[in-house]
Amino acid sequence: MSRLILFAFILALLCFKKVSSEVNIEHSYKHYRLPTSIQPTHYNLKIITFFDNPPNLTFNGVVTIRFKTMVDTNNLTLHSQNLIIDHNRIQLKTLDDNRIYYCGLYVDIVPEHNYYIINLCRRLIAGEEAEIRISFKGMLNDQLNGYYRSSYILKKTNETKWLSVTQFEPAFARTAFPCFDEPNYKAKFKIWLGHHRSMTALSNMPMERQQPISDMTDYVWSIFEESVPMSTYLVAFAVHDFAYKSSGDANVMFRTWSRPEAIDQCNYASKVGPKILKFYEHIFAIPYPLKKLDQFAAPDLGAGAMENWGLITYREAALLFAENVSSETSRQRIADVIAHELAHQWFGNLVTMKWWSDLWLNEGFATYIASLGVAFLNPEWGSLNEEALDNTLTVFRRDSQLSSHPVSLPIESTHQIAERFDAISYKKGAAALRMIHMILGQDAFFQGIRRYLLVHAYKNAQQDDLWAAFTERARLLKRIDPKHDMKIIMDSWTLQVGYPLVKVKRDYNSGLVKITQQRFLQNNTYVTTESEKCWWIPLTFTTSSKMDFSASAPSEWLQCNQFKQQVQLTMENVVAPNEWILFNIQLSGLYRVMYDFQNWVMLNQTLNSNKFQGIHVLNRAQLIDDILWLAWGGYTDYDITFDFLSYMILERQYLPWRAGLESLSHVNRLLRTFHPTYETFQHFMRTIIRPVYYYLNGLNYTRPEYEMSHITILHKSLISSWACRLEIHDCINTAIRYFHEWKQSANPQDNNHIPVDIRPIVYCTAIRHGGKDDWNFLWQIYLASNVASEKHAIIFSLSCSNNATILRTYINMAYDKNEYIRRQDATFAFSSVARNEIGFTLAKDYFISNIDQLYEFYGSHTQELGNLLSPLASQVVKYEDRNQLIQLIDRKRKYFRKSEKIVLNALETIHHNINWIERNVKVVNSHLKLRFTYLN
């Protein structure tokens, strides 16, 4: 990459960052956090929702907030956004003298932070308690946040049915009612929902009673029990006409809700939920705090799911499972999402982070604990290893970029919060917790968690509180050296960006093994001080003579000194000269490993022999991923990389293939426009994948299909998907045969005999090799389907076409106001087209030409516009495309203000793509050609 291009790239980053942070508004109070003069203790919230005018759905409300005055103050600052407030009816009531004051005449509004500042007509004194009463009105929006509208079509009558639902995380409660909308302002809530008597209302707590609204015919109040103390982002309510299935036991009323026509799809979730809830009560030794738990399948939901206390909302595809239609992948996803949201009832709800900087305390915990929940539910799935690998690989990709961020990072404006809901908070947080679990062992880990939960129950915490709990237990049970502290160890993982590359250099004469560390970057050509970072790294290892992959507790530590600089570790007499040494047993630590050449050679000899299965399956996956990404980043040559990949001809297990193919997908993506190198690469890939494809019986299924194990089904789906993309003839011919037999059947909608778990592969392959008639047939199946997971699979498959006209029309349909594709799925449809080789240019041109309309479609409050940029950036390998996107970002800077990190990530990805192409196209071609004789 030329210095001129690199300079332009860096300039683009700096210019974007500078402009996106500019603020020029002057107001009376400008700090991004609320003043600490007021502490709310109780909300009485009354909201009436109206559905009688679908183009203009509205709600009216009154909120009375009781609070304690912490310091003397003349004003009260809270949050309000897009609400119409009757200033003249604002009442302040002091509880000591029971007097009422009308204080709405002097109001200051600060749009930048959504502040609604009431200048009080009476000074409040520290220690005094009072109430503020505010009347308001609002619109049920269509942006999938705050208090918003959703709908579905009753297929029997073709009637549109409306409902309302909430999504308040991270900062949208303020769009539904005036409130102190920060997580550390916990309070109790008494909620009254007014609605037509024909509908049902739900909220966090069980319903206490229902009574008529005196001046409104056929309208009732649904009045709910007072809540436990909770943050505003966890408040939830919905008004609807859904059906439900009951499950659980007498202690917790457990219900799963859906559209009436999908109620039979609730069976799986209604069984899974109570079992996982009981498991969590056991391992945390803390009962679920509420009397009821509702799972609610919303037709429209921006997030995958939301952990509202006692009323968890889900996308339909994340909760509903249709027998003989939904796949094993869908079954596992539903179990995982339910386990994740139920874990939040303790991590996030019972104990909440003080501020969004420590979001990982919610999301990282929920992600890791969910893996334990799913493993308890279905131990035969082998999901613990799969989840550990998935989390690690995701972190390895994202956190190798300069544009990544620490797990715990200061947040200084509301628009930055949404960017933290990413792989770093979820998956790096989970990987860090798994590493702690491995270090401390079962007893110390869970005793530390229980202490953390009990001490901070119904309150807020920060990560130092967690480190204190772990340190106390770890020292008591002698799991760490008394002079070590979990805060010092774990701050190196959560307070700095990136992760380490452990470099192992052996002296084969003296027997010494010297170990150092540096930050791993996806592009080793960057000149940066990032490589000087230091982590406290727990080291586990084995050798070819021991082959012991059972020990996960560290036998050595790679440490940092008091100045946070690395200290080299030298190990003596741990491995013979003719043996290999392998670090990071079962991926117990979050680090990559780079060995000296001779150690790589010996590892490769074992992999390419009948002894390869002696290496743990997770470590085989680790070796393949490490060697591929060391070459991807320019740390090693592709020569030894393709030597390692040759062993894949022998591999029959899922996880090494999962790791290898995920890494190779990046090489595949960049090479596919460079012929004949791509043809050489495809030939190599077909050669290594054919043995396992036929070992798994290709796309063919023996009946009954579900006699295959869960992991075999996942493996078969993964390999077959690649086999069809690599144009292995048996795969293509079988897929097309399946599709046309189905298409020509008497009633395709009800008689689909394609095996469930390969349907996405069959659909995509048939559409890629088919014509307009095939595409239209599958589109009609999509429109008629009542199963969200099937609709999701079809959305992807329709993007597989090689017909530019069809793809261009498809993108237009994704953003059509008639909502052929639901708003929540538009980004997925666009991204699927963008990742298609033919569709990339079409999607890029659409993005550039329709940027204003897309900004209006998504609204100014989300980062979805930035999310469209990511799949485009991943495909860019030419300067012309890069320049077009940079110019667009520069021209429309304000549109990307809420997705700054995503844009920086996209620009860095583009730079690396072009750099990789220039370095590796000819190199990969020559290395692969040398191997064909051996492989064949």
* Binding-site annotation, residues: 340, 344, 363
Residue 505: Cβ-neighbour burial (10 angstroms; 0-12, 13-18, 19+) = middle
Residue 136's SS3 state is strand
Secondary structure (H, E, C), 62-98 = EEEEEEEECCCEEEEEEECCCCEECHHHCEEEECCCC
Q: Give the position of tokens 């001046």.
A: 215
H/E segment holding residue 351: strand 351-353
C-alpha–C-alpha distance, residues 924 and 351, integer Å = 51
H/E segment holding residue 147: strand 146-154
* 114 CB-near residues (< 8 Å, 6+ apart): 79, 80, 81, 171, 174, 181, 414
Distances (CA, A) of 803 to 501, 871, 880, 909: 44, 20, 23, 27
What residues are designated binding site for Zn(2+)? 340, 344, 363
Q: Give the position of tokens 């990789």.
A: 916
Nearest to residue 434, comparing CAs of 278, 587, 618?
587
φ, ψ (nearest 5 deg) of residue 138: -160, 170
Query: What is the DSSP code string of 364-393?
Result: HHHHHHHHHHHHHH-GGG-HHHHHHHHHHH
Q: Please give the DSSP secondary-structure letter assigned to residue 186.
A: -
Helices (H), 243-359: 267-284, 328-344
- Per the annotation, the verdict on 341 as an active-site residue is yes
Q: Do 784 and 790 meet the contact criterion of CB atoms below 8 Å apart?
A: no
C-alpha–C-alpha distance, residues 66 and 74, integer Å = 17
C-alpha–C-alpha distance, residues 234 and 171, integer Å = 10
Distance of alpha carbon 199 from its chain centroid, rounded?
Answer: 33
Over its C-alpha atoms, the chain yields an Rg (Å, rounded) of 29
Backbone torsion region of residue 564, taken as left when φ is above 0, otherwise alpha when ψ lies between -120 and 50, otherwise beta: left
Q: Do 247 and 221 meet the contact criterion of CB atoms below 8 Å apart?
A: no
C-alpha–C-alpha distance, residues 315 and 823, integer Å = 12
Distances (CA, A) of 787 to 77, 317, 728, 747, 756: 46, 8, 31, 17, 13
Q: Do 161 and 151 meet the contact criterion of CB atoms below 8 Å apart?
A: yes
Q: Do 241 and 162 meet the contact criterion of CB atoms below 8 Å apart?
A: no
C-alpha–C-alpha distance, residues 222 and 213, integer Å = 10
Check 341, 419, 662, 900 and give the catalytic one: 341
Residue 252's SS3 state is coil
φ, ψ (nearest 5 deg) of residue 255: -130, 145
Residue 779's SS3 state is helix
Q: Give the position of tokens 């990071």.
A: 584
Contacts of 856-861 with CB under 8 Å at 24 or more apart are 857/815, 857/826, 858/143, 859/143, 860/898, 861/143, 861/145, 861/898
Q: Do 227 and 205 meet the contact criterion of CB atoms below 8 Å apart?
A: yes
Query: What is the DSSP code string of 804-872?
Result: HHHHHHHHHHHT-TT-SS-GGGHHHHHHHHHTSTTHHHHHHHHHHHTHHHHHHHH-TT-SHHHHHHHHH
Residue 494's SS3 state is helix
Side chain identity at residue 787, one-letter code: V
Indicate which residues carry an active-site annotation.
Answer: 341
